[in-house]
Amino acid sequence: MARSGDYNERYARFSKRIEKGLIVLVMGLILVMLTGELIYQFEPVRKFLIETERLEGVSAMP
């Protein structure tokens, strides 16, 4: 019976470590997304990064 308890304890430690890593990953991705959205608020950056912003008002037909 001690073997089963040992396995469960190791599994619980492992899953807590994985869960913590996933939480950090999700928080990091949220931070990157919010930073990107904040950067897009500045006109010069938006014109440089977004192609449709540069082509707005330009006719496709000559």
Position 58 pLDDT exceeds 80? no
19 domain residue, yes or no: yes
Contact 40, 50 (CB under 8 A): yes
**Containing domain of residue 27, as a range?**
2-55
Helix (H, G, I), strand (E, B) or coil at 11: helix
The whole-angstrom separation of Cα 44 and Cα 38 is 13
31 domain residue, yes or no: yes
33 domain residue, yes or no: yes
- Quick: pLDDT tens for 38-53: 998 988 888 888 877 6
Position 37 pLDDT exceeds 60? yes
62 domain residue, yes or no: no
* Mean pLDDT of all residues belonging to the chain: 87
Structural domains of the chain, count: 1
pTM greater than 0.75: no
Position 12 pLDDT exceeds 60? yes
9 domain residue, yes or no: yes
The tokens for 52 are 């449709």
DSSP state of 32: H
Residue 55 pLDDT grade (very low, low, confident, very high; cuts 50, 70, 90) = confident
